[in-house]
Amino acid sequence: RLWRGVGSTRRFATAVDSAHPYHIKVAKAQECANGLCGAIGNTPLILLGGLSRETGCKIYGKAEFMNPGGSVKDRAALYLVKEAERSGQLRSGGTVVEGTAGNTGIGLAHVCRAKGYKCVIYMPNNQSTGKINLLRLLGAEVHLVPVVPFDNPENYNHQAKRHAESLKNSVWTNQFDNIANRLAHMETTGPEIWAQTRGKVDAFTCATGTGGTLAGVTRYLKEASDGKTECWLADPPGSILHSYIQSNGKLQEREGTSITEGIGQGRITENLARELDLLNGSFTISDIKTIAMVYRLLDEEGLYVGASSALNVVAATELARQLGPGKTVATILCDGAHRYSDRLFSKSWLREKKLESAIPTALRKYSIL
């Protein structure tokens, strides 16, 4: 009936809008993505209501768990592969090799599948079968190698490098020191946060694994805001970066460990090296605060995120308190809790890690495994 009035699309729109207001939302939907690679990035920036009310600030988490591979590392994976193509190291039918125990491997496996490359992943042999199976079903060739430190030539990173060197038309993507990783966040994550907050972002904080996210977002936000956006590192126990920053550049031995995965660093990676001077400061966040925030975000916001996301939100909240009411603080929700549910939501695991008492009694109902 509505279409009979051809020539009057305006009347059509009005009729539909008033009768079915949800159609207005459809008009605002994102553009179509060109394949999996086109669907990486452009994630929502989620206002965390409870923490925002509590601090009088706006605290936002960038929903990186909504990337196709489920984490912030999809962005880096795409840029690492694009850089290898641009430099001519990787041509049609080639092989991407990386040493990774986590999200980067999953991101690379997705991107390689979508672009028709082979993907070879080296990882320590103490990783969960869930992760290994996922990589294999995405088509990656997985090599499990003994757990040895970085300075041992048999460490998974060095084995990945040697594997790539032994093949023609192949690349070792080297996420830690390849600055295409940082560029992904300088060109996408940073600008998205700036646009989504309409340039009103007083502070940003996140933890680092390779450092790509922190360095890239910091570089962009500092430039866009004329240095006004404060950028802070959030460090888990066992990482050397917080003490490195606090002591004006003294490298100390790693001390302590953390339940967080994918974050914490024992050295200054190439991705971080140039941006450390831009940072306004750093926090170290205890596992007790992190695990409590995993449960709080689930209970209060319905967000099912991993420990690094929770650590980031604790840091964003501390930053908001430090800056005072009325400010806007952004951070990264790096991935979902799916890959860690058998730990984060397991009673016996919490007991083993002496973290049971960190969960407020009312929220213990979520540790059901």
Q: Any idea which residues carry the catalytic annotation?
A: 73
Cβ(264)–Cβ(214) under 8 Å? no
Give the per-residue contact string, 156-195, with ligand PMP (x = CB under 6 A; - = no).
Answer: ----------------------------------------
Dihedral, 68, 270, 197, 21 alpha carbons, nearest 10: -10
Residue (of 331, 335, 313) closest to 230 by Cα position: 331
Of the pair 55, 218, the CB lying nearest ligand PMP is at: 218
Of these, 67, 170, 189, 210, which contacts ligand PMP (CB under 6 A)? Answer: 210
Q: What's the burial of 165, exposed, middle or buried (CB within 10 Å: 0-12/13-18/19+)?
A: exposed
Nearest to 262 by CA among 319, 336, 314, 316: 336
Which member of 99, 105, 212, 264 binds ligand PMP (CB under 6 A)?
212
Of 10-29, which residues contact ligand PMP (CB under 6 A)? none
Q: Which is nearer to ligand PMP, 222 or 339 (CB)?
A: 339
Binding piece for ligand PMP, criterion CB under 6 A, among 107-115, 136-144, 194-202, 204-212: 204-212
Q: Binders of ligand PMP among 296-325, rule CB under 6 A?
A: 306, 308
**Shortest distance in whole angstroms from residue 306 CB to ligand PMP:** 5
* Contacts of 174 by beta carbon, 8 Å cutoff, 6+ apart: 98, 161
Q: Which is nearer to ligand PMP, 327 or 345 (CB)?
A: 345
Alpha helices in the chain (DSSP H): 9-19, 22-27, 35-38, 49-55, 73-86, 103-115, 129-137, 156-165, 180-184, 190-196, 212-224, 241-246, 270-273, 287-296, 307-323, 341-344, 347-352
Select the span of 4-12, 68-76, 277-285, 292-300 touching ligand PMP (CB under 6 A): 68-76
- Note whether 73 binds ligand PMP by CB under 6 A: yes
User: Footprint of ligand PMP on this chain (CB under 6 A)?
Assistant: 71-73, 102-103, 207-213, 261-263, 306, 308, 334-335
